Amino acid sequence: MTTDTPRALAGITVVETAERVSGEYTGKLLADLGAQVIKVERPGGAPTRAMGPFHKGESTLFAYLNANKQSVILDLGDAGERALLDRLLQRAHALVDDHDDGWLQATGLTPENVAEDHPALVHALVTPFGQGAPARLQYMRPINVINAGGWAYHSPSETAPDRPPLKGAGRFLSDYEAGIDAALCTMASILRLRRTGNGQFIDISEVEVQINRIDAVLGRMLAGEAEPSDARTAYDMGGPGASFACVDGHVFLFMTTRLHWKALCTLMGNPPWTVDFREDWLEFDCTPDNVARFRRHFTAWIAQHPKLPTTEAAQKAGVAMVPVNTADDLPRHPQFVERGFFQQAEHPAFGPVEYPGACYRMSATPVRVRTPAPSPGADQQEVSHA
């Protein structure tokens, strides 16, 4: 592991009592930037240690979310161990949490209590619907949040109506999005803390983060241009865009203008079936029958072509066609290789692994995977006696 690179958040201490992906990702972003993040785990270890997928008996999710952190085991129901947490908070700059009201009351970590006991502390609390939400909304899972925020309702579009609702890009999309905002607010509040000596409470609502990321389809509904309905296909952006199988995987095609259509026809070598479509059919004759007819012909054509050369040629020609990358594709993607996005590191259980890096490059304080996710209580002695 790399341990000797400069760290942007060197000297900052964060205590993380979070036990869900949203809070743990918040802590991960701060740890990756160099903060000392002390993860407080319950006896038996954090719940995410038991969440798949697994490799060699270890949670790969936990390994990703908790690299660069330290671990202590505390039973917060025990007065002595609860007092140790207070001592940690006394010397920390921030507390990151993601629990519901009942847990906060039981542990004495309500926003009011934390503010009274530790006025010079930034307290970030990430919850599904924010503070004050009804009890029934405090136990929501990512699938609930991503649907409540509107994203899963239409993305991806053109989904069969008899299929379950989709969550968009991944199992924890709403957690990761909320974690980004929580880390940003925490860093801004730490800057204020340094300037004024005063901490503050940050209330992050995961569903409001989703609405904050509002896209064109939701905007059309709010503007009255599209009527909400139970038909998920009603929110398709228009045109025959969809994923299509090719020789070695899938591509995604998006077309809405005559320029897209003319470029695609040229790319395909102007096959005879294209003359049956008006040049401006995507703009003025994009009927369900035409869309279905186009997809039938294009499906047969793209099935004979490879993914990467075809999409590269399409983009050069002005066609919005992209490869649908799999997890296996990403570490070999030329752009990611060029930027060194995936970082080689050693994990005690997995051996050599490639960690996804940061989406930004900082010249003076590069983000590095310095240490793997800790074993439960690995830093008990060091942290407890610091």
Q: Report the 3 state secondary structure along the chain.
A: CCCCCCCCCCCCEEEECCCCHHHHHHHHHHHHCCCEEEEEECCCCCHHHHCCCEECCEEHHHHHHCCCEEEEECCCCCHHHHHHHHHHHHHCCEEEECCCHHHHHHHCCCHHHHHHHCCCCEEEEEECCCCCCCHHHCCCCHHHHHHHCCHHHHCCCCCCCCCCCCCCCCCCHHHHHHHHHHHHHHHHHHHHHHHHCCCEEEEEEHHHHHHHCCCHHHHHHHCCCCCCCCCHHHHCCCCCCEEEEECCEEEEEECCCHHHHHHHHHHCCCCHHHHHCCCCHHHHCCCHHHHHHHHHHHHHHHCCCCHHHHHHHHHHHCCEEEECCCCCCHHHCHHHHHHCCEEEEEECCCEEEEEECCCCCCCCCCCCCCCCCCCCCCCHHHHHCC
The mean per-residue pLDDT over the stretch 213-233 comes to 70
Report which of residues 321 and 161 the model is more confident about. Answer: 321
pLDDT confidence bin for 238, thresholds 50/70/90: low
* The residue type at 217: V
Mean residue pLDDT of the chain comes to 90
pLDDT confidence bin for 243, thresholds 50/70/90: confident
Angle between helices 21-32 and 173-196 (to 10 degrees): 50
Give me the pLDDT at residue 193, please: 98
Range with the poorest average pLDDT among 17-31, 104-118, 341-355: 341-355
Q: What percent of the chain has pLDDT over 70?
A: 91
Give pLDDT tens digits for 282-295.
Answer: 989 988 899 999 99
Range with the poorest average pLDDT among 55-59, 143-147, 305-309: 143-147
Give pLDDT tens digits for 362-376.
Answer: 999 999 999 999 999
Give me the pLDDT at residue 7, please: 94
Domains and CATH numbers, the chain: 13-212+336-384 (3.40.50.10540), 239-323 (3.30.1540.10)
